[in-house]
Every structure is written in C-alpha cells, then in structure tokens.
Copies of this chain bind each other. A is one copy, B any other.
Amino acid sequence: MGVIDLWYDFASTYSYLAVMRAETVAREADVALRWRPFLLGPIFKSHGMETSPFNIFPVKGRYSWRDLERLAARQGLPKFLLPVPFPANSLLAARTAVALPDAARPEFSRAVFHAEFAEGRDISDRGVIGELLSKLGHDADGVLARTGEQSLKDKLRTETEAAAAQGIFGAPSFVTEDGELFWGNDRFEHALDWARSLAKKK
C-alpha cells in the first residue's frame, strides 16, 4: 500500500480543498495518508514574505478568491468564505491537531477548515476550537491545556522544520516515501499515482 505525507496549514485556502477530499481520494487510490499539520508562516518569512502571497500580490489574490469559489462549487462544498483577517492565525489549530491522537486528526482538521472557510469563523479563538473539540467528543479543556505545554509546542516546531527541510514552500504539499514532493491541491492525484507506483515496485 502506498503512503503519502499530507502537509497542510490551517490558514491555507487550497489546503482546505485538499483536506476535505483527502480521505475519499486516498481510499479510492488505496494509499494511506499521514496527516501532518505545520506552519507556513515561518517558511514564508524565511523566503522574505511577511504575509500570504495573495496579500502581497493583490491581483493574484483577487483571482484566487474567485478560483476558490469555483473550485469549492465543483467539489460540492458550501459557498467559499474568506475569513477576515486573512490569513487566519493557525497556531492554536495546528497545536490542537498535533495534540490529538493520529486517528482523531482528520475529522478535527475537516471541522476546523469547515468553520473557517464555509462559516467564516475565527480559528485562532480558543472558544471556537474548544467548541469543535467538544462537538467531536473530545475533552476540550484537557486538549487545550496540552497545547500550552512546551513539549507540544516543540513538536509542532519540529514538524515545520521537517517540512522546510524537505523543500516544502507552500500548502498543501504531498511527499511520497522516496521524498518526491508535490505542491498544491491540483497535484494530489499525481502524488497518489506516484505513491501507488512506488508500492507496486516493492
């Protein structure tokens, strides 16, 4: 069975599209996913960008909102909403996702992205994240308390460094077991093909 590391940032619009369809397309392709939230902000900063490229180049940003509206519609998702401010601060959501057991991460991640891009809610708000955790049956206070622990903060930092070390510069990104990197929701299928063909060679 093929394996793909799915790298995503909770502030990333195209990560939203990839995450919402990830389990379905991976199951159809018989590929296992490792869900790896990370922070794009420090990577953008290391390339000299203080915010999203969509803010730095407004004409590209405006196009992207329209592109996202169209893609959400094609994918059968609710009307795409841009959170204000954009990009959202995704630190709390990422730490929470890392704090959860692996098996709980996909469902929680979808809930966060839905709140952000289908409901326009502020995912940096502890109340919002706590509400999502509770709805999914987690001990919200317990999980949120863990996000403040140093070991947990370090774990997310290490993940972000691992992403950068693999050449990741955007999200979503997909990495197969041989280190092949695919960037963007548009490359999800190519990454699946690659992972499947690797698995066949074994």
Taking beta carbons and an 8 Å cutoff, which residues of A are in contact with B? Answer: 47, 57, 59-60, 62-63, 66-67, 70, 74, 167, 169-170, 181-183, 186-187, 190
Contact = CB atoms under 8 A, between A and B. Distances in A.
B167 A67 contact: no
Given A66-B181, A181-B66, A59 B186 contact: no
A187 B167 CA distance: 25
A192 to B, nearest CB: 13
A57 B186 contact: no
Contacts of A59: 47, 167, 169
A109 B72 CA distance: 34
Contacts of A183: 63, 67
A7 to B, nearest CB: 13
Nearest to A60: B169
A60 B164 CA distance: 12
A61 to B, nearest CB: 10
- Residue of A59, A170, A190 with highest tally of chain B CB at under 10 A: A59
A183 B186 CA distance: 13
Given A47-B57, A57-B47, A63 B186 contact: no
